A and B are shown apart, each in its own frame.
Chain A
């Protein structure tokens, strides 16, 4: 599976949009982009995933560039409870395709 690179940390003000970048320049055509987050001392929480089209759900939006070499996770109105480590992972679909976690990006939402 292709690797991803994320900045180690970022912060944003409560109520503002948080835009979390991810670079996956070696992504293959059949690999999806997945985002998970981990709040301290909990298991990771699925946020969103996409292949090439932009995706939106009740938690976030995922914007994937046309060349698919990078993406941005957008939390439209960040709250203090969004403070967490966010992981961007690329992998193919399928039962035995593993999620390999990097270091992620630590998002700190300030009051």
Chain B
């Protein structure tokens, strides 16, 4: 299957600082990427949908000014957690839509990024 890569896999930051997570589609161009958050022992919760070259669409309850999403190219989307607080500590996962398939397009996921805010 297609490859989606996230970086960093783990990051620790101080409360009040910002941290950026990158999501890259390595072998295909992704017009649409999705960002999820997962707390321990819970399922994945969609945060936002990003389309290349346009503003992201955020799910209800997700603060767009806190979670900045940029999808500047067809292979890269970034999530910046601004003014991070301990409650933002979570597993953040991106996914990318692979276009061009004829029988139901597939979405591939990155490895995830663990964020710990201290």
Partners in one complex: yes
Binding site for B on A (CB under 8 A): 32, 34, 36, 38, 41-46, 49-51, 87, 93-96, 98-104
The 8 tightest CB contacts between A and B, nearest first, are A43-B109, A32-B104, A95-B32, A101-B44, A43-B112, A101-B43, A44-B109, A93-B104
User: Could you tell me if B112 and A98 are in contact, using CB atoms closer than 8 angstroms?
Assistant: no
Please name 26 pairs of A and B residues whose Cβ atoms are closer than 8 Å in the assembled complex, sorted by A.
Answer: A34-B104, A38-B44, A41-B112, A41-B114, A42-B112, A43-B6, A43-B93, A43-B95, A43-B111, A43-B112, A44-B44, A45-B109, A46-B106, A46-B109, A49-B106, A50-B104, A93-B104, A94-B105, A95-B97, A96-B49, A98-B49, A99-B34, A99-B46, A101-B44, A103-B43, A104-B43
Q: How many residues of B contact A (CB 8 A)?
A: 29
Of B46, B91, B107, which is within 8 A of A46 by CB?
B107
User: Could you tell me if B44 and A95 are in contact, using CB atoms closer than 8 angstroms?
Assistant: no
User: Could you tell me if B46 and A51 are in contact, using CB atoms closer than 8 angstroms?
Assistant: no
Q: Is B31 an interface residue (CB 8 A)?
A: yes
Interface centre among B6, B34, B44 (most CB of A within 10 A): B44
